[in-house]
Homo-oligomer: A and B are copies of this chain.
């Protein structure tokens, strides 16, 4: 764990022994069976265990959608807020609480449609947090409407004749936002890659944006099945500074491309790959981007006397 503000950072190790993965599980997850969210949940819980995150120091913030039910299934603090508004809430949580581990769970509608403005700015604030975009390319909870990441021609309840506008490429868009510092893509059905990506994201000193291609067997089986079944459908982005897999995990990929995640221009080129294949891995990382949460924490801990003093000094200006 990175101790970025030594004075106020209290990301403490558990005082009383070791947390097991069960310590992070709350009630049974109520997603459909076969839903990719289940595997992500497990992977996140594993991350918590691996990192021994104190549950009381960990906050999952979400919007609204199937995916956004996530916090209810974690035994940590959680904030299941408003559709599209996870990022502002999470930013508010983190701003003056550097000691908290903040995760954001959002859906493709939540993040890229109604939440798009906050997406642009949340990335720019670059607060230390992990943002997981559960991208199932559909509105799950509201029962199959076109999402901004639905492939062109998707048949949905709002577009029974097929959707008519090209989808957003969330990776490409994020790479164009100001102050972007970490962009990765993974899939819900390759736990090794998912786990490694989460770990890398968690270690990033800033906002780590991870798009997870997520299966929704209820509404989108036809869309994701080819990717799941065709071993040619994935391209692994490989680099020592990227998501590092062991050889065994790596050997399950037919296409591997070297990509240096410090190269932003190249990352944008890689993001275009999406048209033929699903590239997974770390597109971009910059550990030195300005962090707004550091600014938010810079004046924590001022004494009451000092605070009163400052107010009185201002008050003096109005004195008569």
Given A148-B121, A177-B176, A265-B268, are A166 and B290 neighbors across the interface (CB < 8 Å)?
yes
A contact face: mostly helix, strand, loop, or mixed: helix
Q: Which of B112, B121, B165, B179 contacts A179 (CB 8 A)?
A: B165
Is B166 within 8 A of A148, CB to CB? no
Given A117-B116, A117-B117, A121-B116, are A179 and B166 neighbors across the interface (CB < 8 Å)?
yes
Q: Which of B112, B117, B177, B269 contacts A265 (CB 8 A)?
A: B269
Complex: how many Å from CA A198 to CA B112? 30
Complex: how many Å from CA A175 to CA B264? 14
Say yes or no for A115: interface residue by CB 8 A criterion.
Answer: yes
Q: Which residues of B contact A264 (CB under 8 A)?
A: 272
Complex: how many Å from CA A201 to CA B289? 34
Is A168 within 8 A of B124, CB to CB? yes
Say yes or no for A218: interface residue by CB 8 A criterion.
Answer: no
Complex: how many Å from CA A172 to CA B176? 6
Q: Which of B114, B166, B173 contacts A176 (CB 8 A)?
A: B173
Shortest beta-carbon distance from A309 to chain B in Å: 18
Is B120 within 8 A of A116, CB to CB? yes
Say yes or no for A178: interface residue by CB 8 A criterion.
Answer: yes
Say yes or no for A295: interface residue by CB 8 A criterion.
Answer: yes
Complex: how many Å from CA A226 to CA B26? 59
Say yes or no for A169: interface residue by CB 8 A criterion.
Answer: yes
Complex: how many Å from CA A112 to CA B169? 19
Complex: how many Å from CA A179 to CA B268? 15
Is B166 within 8 A of A124, CB to CB? yes
Q: Which residues of B contact A125 (CB under 8 A)?
A: 165
Complex: how many Å from CA A113 to CA B120? 9
Q: Mark A55-78, 1 if CB is under 8 A from B, else 0.
A: 000000000000000000000000
Shortest beta-carbon distance from A38 to chain B in Å: 29
Q: Which residues of B contact A124 (CB under 8 A)?
A: 148, 165-166, 168
From residue 157 to 175 of chain A, which have CB atoms closer than 8 A to chain B?
Answer: 164-169, 172-175
Residue pairs across A and B with Cβ atoms less than 8 A apart, 29 shown, are A112-B120, A116-B117, A116-B121, A117-B117, A117-B119, A119-B120, A120-B173, A121-B148, A124-B166, A124-B168, A148-B178, A152-B290, A164-B292, A165-B290, A166-B178, A166-B179, A167-B178, A168-B177, A168-B178, A172-B176, A173-B173, A173-B177, A173-B178, A174-B176, A176-B176, A176-B177, A264-B272, A265-B265, A265-B272
With contacts A166-B179, A168-B177 known, what are 11 further pairs, Cβ within 8 A?
Answer: A112-B120, A115-B117, A116-B121, A117-B118, A124-B166, A165-B178, A166-B289, A169-B178, A174-B176, A176-B268, A265-B265
Binding site for B on A (CB under 8 A): 112-121, 124-125, 148, 152, 164-169, 172-179, 264-265, 268-269, 272, 289-290, 292, 295
